């Protein structure tokens, strides 16, 4: 009996060729942004301490965060690895992110809690203040006067923001594909459905997650109303017709924990350390 003919071997595609074109474009622009340098030759995203913000296709601020483990690590976890709570809980939809802004705090490079406890605590207080100030700036810039943070940053005194840089993360082709109003309406509806499913399935979720569910619904209602007005040839409705604070309560502090602080020293720091090891080779390419 003749030997069965073995199928011809084919080369496996490279992993970075597997995502859809729009995803590859997004990640390429993200890597380009993470490699950009300031006027002193420092990569903006290399700062160990700093804050960041994400913006949607309208330039609307949607999320503000902080890190003391390295900006590029936290940004990648949000936008590529999908390992942060905001993404895992369906609060932040990566497909909504069109731009990001970074505020590095270079003065704290190499600072550790073990080596300098007092300096570390002072840096944490300053980091909270920078995040809260960036959050206030985002609220002021938002047409809804609200963004998608599940946890409002700790109530802090406003402070001067450090030099920052804003980066585009989408190509012209991706904007044409994903930026169409009907695509965005469908995507936001899907995001709300997923977020509501998290609340339903887990039951015991934070009030902040339920607040974000309302804000996402407001965002869906407004973009849908704008689309209707366009189709009917009417002027766009005013965002002031929606009273977000009347729907969700205060948005300038966390009602249950105004002075709370996100602790980045525990398990999350360990996860980020693993990410750092994995991304060193990427930065060397």
- pLDDT, tens digit (0-9, with 9 covering 90-100), for 218-251: 999 999 999 999 999 999 999 999 999 999 999 9
Position 33 in a domain: yes
- CA–CA dist 71, 34 (Å, integer): 9
SS3 15: helix
Q: Is the per-residue pLDDT at 264 higher than 70?
A: no
Say which DSSP state 95 is in: G
> What pLDDT score does 210 carry?
95
What is the Cα–Cα distance from 49 to 71, expressed in whole angstroms? 7
What does the pLDDT look like over 188-213, one tens digit per residue?
Answer: 999 999 999 999 999 899 999 999 99
Would residue 92 count as lying in a domain? yes
274 pLDDT band, cuts 50/70/90, is very low
Torsion-angle region of 272 (φ positive above 0: left; ψ -120 to 50: alpha; else: beta): alpha
Q: Is residue 281 part of a domain?
A: no
In a domain, 63, yes or no: yes
pLDDT digits (tens, 9 = 90+) for 93-132: 999 999 999 999 999 999 999 999 999 999 999 999 999 9
With a cut of 70, say whether residue 184 has pLDDT above it: yes
Asked whether residue 14 is assigned to any structural domain, the reply reads no
Residue ranges making up the domain that contains 204: 20-250
Return the minimum-mean-pLDDT range out of 79-83, 177-181, 224-228, 268-272: 268-272
Q: What is the pLDDT of residue 3?
A: 59
**Summary mean pLDDT of the chain:** 88
170 part of a folded domain: yes
pLDDT top residue among 1 and 25: 25
283 in any annotated domain:
no
- CA dist 283 and 285 (Å) reads 6
Q: With bands split at pLDDT 50, 70 and 90, how would you rate the model's confidence at 6? A: confident
CB distance 88 to 150 below 8 Å: no
Give the global pTM.
Answer: 0.86
In angstroms, the CA 151 to CA 177 distance is: 32
Per the structure, the count of domains in the chain is 1
Is there a domain that residue 9 lies in? no
Residue 47 CB coordination number (10 Å): 24
Supply the pLDDT for residue 85. 66
Q: Which of 84-117 are b and which e, b meaning 16 or more Cβ less than 10 Å from the residue's Cβ?
A: bebbebbbbbebbbbbbbbbbbbebeebeeeeee
* Residue 104 · residue 162 · CB < 8 Å: yes
- Residue 112 tokens, joined: 């550790």
């Amino acid at each position: 009996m003749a030997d069965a003919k073995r199928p011809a071997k084919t080369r496996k595609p490279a992993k970075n060729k597997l995502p859809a074109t729009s995803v590859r474009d997004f990640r390429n622009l993200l890597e380009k942004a993470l490699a950009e340098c300031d006027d002193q030759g420092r990569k903006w995203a290399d700062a160990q301490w700093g804050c960041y913000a994400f913006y949607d296709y309208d330039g609307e601020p949607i999320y503000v965060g902080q890190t003391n483990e390295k900006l590029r690590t936290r940004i990648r976890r949000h936008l590529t690895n999908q390992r942060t709570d905001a993404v895992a809980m369906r609060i932040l939809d990566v497909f909504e992110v069109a731009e990001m802004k970074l505020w590095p705090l270079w003065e704290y490079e190499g600072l550790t809690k073990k080596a300098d406890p007092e300096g570390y605590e002072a840096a944490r207080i300053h980091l909270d203040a920078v995040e809260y100030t960036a959050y206030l700036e985002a609220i002021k810039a938002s047409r809804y006067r609200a963004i998608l943070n599940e946890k409002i940053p700790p109530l802090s005194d406003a402070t001067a923001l450090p030099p920052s840089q804003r980066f585009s993360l989408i190509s012209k082709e991706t904007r044409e594909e994903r930026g169409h109003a009907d695509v965005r309406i469908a995507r936001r509806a899907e995001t709300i459905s997923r977020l509501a499913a998290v609340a339903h399935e887990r039951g015991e979720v934070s009030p902040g997650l339920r607040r974000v569910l309302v804000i996402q619904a407001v965002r869906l209602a407004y973009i849908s109303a704008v689309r209707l007005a366009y189709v009917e040839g009417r002027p766009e409705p005013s965002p002031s017709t929606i009273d977000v604070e009347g729907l969700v309560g205060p948005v300038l502090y966390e009602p249950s924990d105004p002075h709370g602080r996100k602790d980045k020293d525990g398990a999350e720091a360990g996860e980020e350390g693993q990410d750092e090891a994995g991304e060193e080779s990427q930065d060397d390419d």
